[in-house]
Amino acid sequence: MKNIFNIKNVTLPIEKTQEVMEKINNLMYRKGSEKILRVSGSIGSEAGVMSIGSGSGVDHILIMATYVNRHERTETIWDISNYLRTEISKIPHVKYLDVAPSGSTAMASIRASVDTMLSSPDYKLLQKEGAKVEEAMNQTKGIVSVLKTWDMDKVVYNLDIDEVEAMNYGVNRSDVTAQIQMMLRGVPVATFPKENSNGLHG
């Protein structure tokens, strides 16, 4: 059985994110270390790795905790998830939290994701209506957790490129945006063969 945690705060620096991860790890081990087989966590996303959406920054934590099977523990997967969801939400700087159980019990249960997208040229109106949708979902029976992918504290930049000036340096709009993307997301700079691999690549 596994619990997968997604924690996000769009305004959090890397140092604070590391502190949050340490507190979550301590919390999980404090609540029954004998039930945990292993815990792995990551901050952000690896450069060059494809992901659904726009990837993750230093404000995003993904933790995967693997527990012993249900015959070796008294608590159900739902009990553990509800406890962790309640306790982790109390940790400072945790803004969005999703605890997703994974395993045969979870897969055999009725479980699905509901995605709702709102569009508007007025971001203030979008924020207002988004809050209404979030409140409605939180009051809907059967929905465990609700997450928003955008909020008013998320910084948005409008990139205005002077194309005439850019031509003086021999670059165009695509060159500029590609360089900015590389700085923000990173790119692979080298590859290394895996140990004991046969060197064949498909």
- How far apart, in whole angstroms, are the C-alpha atoms of residue 38 and residue 2? 10
Find which of 1-10, 89-98, 162-171 is predicted with most confidence, using mean pLDDT. Answer: 162-171
How confident is residue 201, by pLDDT bands cut at 50, 70 and 90? Answer: very low
Tokens of 113: 């994701």
Residue 198, in any domain of the structure: no
- Are 32 and 89 in a shared domain? yes
- Are 116 and 88 in a shared domain? no
- Are 178 and 129 in a shared domain? no
8 Å CB contact between 44 and 58 = yes
- Are 144 and 88 in a shared domain? no
Residue predicted with more confidence, 202 or 127? 127
- Are 6 and 80 in a shared domain? yes
pTM confidence score: 0.60
Q: Is the pLDDT of residue 14 over 80?
A: no
Domain that holds residue 178: 158-184
Classify the C-alpha dihedral 40-46-52-55 as positive or negative. Answer: positive
- Are 28 and 94 in a shared domain? yes
Q: Is the pLDDT of residue 54 over 50?
A: no
8 Å CB contact between 4 and 100 = yes
pLDDT digits (tens, 9 = 90+) for 157-198: 788 888 888 889 999 888 988 888 777 666 777 777 766 666
